[in-house]
Each structure stands twice: as structure tokens, then as C-alpha cells.
A and B are shown apart, each in its own frame.
Chain A
């Protein structure tokens, strides 16, 4: 059981470049989300989705786009990378409802130079 898989694990971008961070889960979870983790800031929610075709903004959505065409996949797109987007990105998934913990991927460490 793979759980939540993120690719790539590491990435270096130049300012202005675009890229997509991939996230896939094999647990048939309805809810998926993207967080960024910065020193001293904790985990901050970027975007989330409650099911295929439904997405919404979190706490820090600017500069990022998402879509959810399938239950399994929830890619995060950086349209024009900026140094402020240097961070570690985590994807998480869970069932919807009360007794549902979130499962996290191993993270993508992104550096924008």
C-alpha cells in the first residue's frame, strides 16, 4: 500500500519558471490538500479539495493553482516561481468525516533561485 506519493522529492527552479508538483493517493480518500512548511511558520494550507472537480483556497493560495480531475491525483502548479516559494511542500489525504486522520506524503523540497 503506497499511501500518499509525492514527486519529485527535490527540485531547483529559476525565478519565473513553472512546474507541477505531483501528488497521488491510493486509499480512495475524498479530501486532499497541499501544505507548505517553512521554518518558524509551521504547516500552512495552500489549496484543498473535497472531491473530484471541487477545489478551494487555503491560507496561502497566491501563486499556486490546483485541479482535481480524479479521486487519486491532486497536482499543485507553480505558474511563475518566485524565491518566496522556496519551501517544503506536503500533500495530504483523508476520508471526510469525524474520525479521519490525514495521511501525508514525504514532501517535495523546492528551491527557487
Chain B
């Protein structure tokens, strides 16, 4: 069973069409949930860290939220340059390891 599950696998939006990406996790002892953006041919780029249920963080058109079982990445009025794969990862227990979901590929059409 995957410890981190992202949905949907792929999402196509029109420019300006807001939506949300989901990251659900089954680990206990969550020490941090991380969102990354990955462009084709590049390494993942850090976006947000969330630590406790109810926490929210924003950056431009992106807003990340966290509950006890899942996190959402809300994209408001997206632009074509928001097209990328968005990765979710968790750090839990006594380990420094990051466990990643498989990502959501977002395409925003002009």
C-alpha cells in the first residue's frame, strides 16, 4: 500500500479555471508534508512545507492546506506557466527520509 497517494494523475485546465490537487497519506507521526514543482528535464523545486492540521500557506496563485489525512494544493486562476508536475512528499517518524507520491501532471491551456 502506498504511503502517499496523489490524485488525479493528470489534470487539464483552461487558463483561469481554478482547481485543486490532492495528496493523501497513511503514515503516522507526520513531521512535515512538502509540495514540489517539477518541470520537464529539471529537478523538483520546493514550494511549501506544512506541519500541522489546519495550516495553510500561499504563494502567488498556489495555496496549500493540510488536514490529518490529506493535503490540497489549490490553484487559483492558473496560467500556462503553471503547467508542471506537482509532487507531494512526507517526512514522518524518526527518519529524515522523504517519501514521495507519484505526482500530478498539470497542463494549463491558453
A interface with B by C-beta (< 8 Å): 4, 31, 33, 35, 40-45, 48, 50, 58, 90, 92, 94, 96, 98-99, 101-107
Task: Let me know if B46 and A102 touch, CB within 8 A.
Answer: yes
What's the least CB distance linking A40 to chain B, in Å? 7
Which B residues touch A42, using CB under 8 A?
A: 87, 100-103
Q: How far is the CB of B86 from chain A (nearest CB, A)?
A: 12
| A–B complex contacts, Cβ < 8 Å, 30 sampled | A4-B43, A31-B96, A40-B102, A41-B102, A42-B87, A42-B101, A42-B102, A42-B103, A43-B44, A43-B87, A43-B100, A45-B97, A45-B98, A48-B96, A48-B97, A50-B96, A58-B97, A90-B43, A96-B96, A98-B51, A99-B32, A101-B34, A101-B46, A101-B49, A102-B46, A102-B98, A103-B46, A105-B43, A107-B41, A107-B42
A-B pairs with beta carbons under 8 A, tally = 52
Could you tell me which B residues sit within 8 Å of A by CB distance?
A: 31-32, 34, 36, 41-46, 49, 51, 87, 89, 96-103
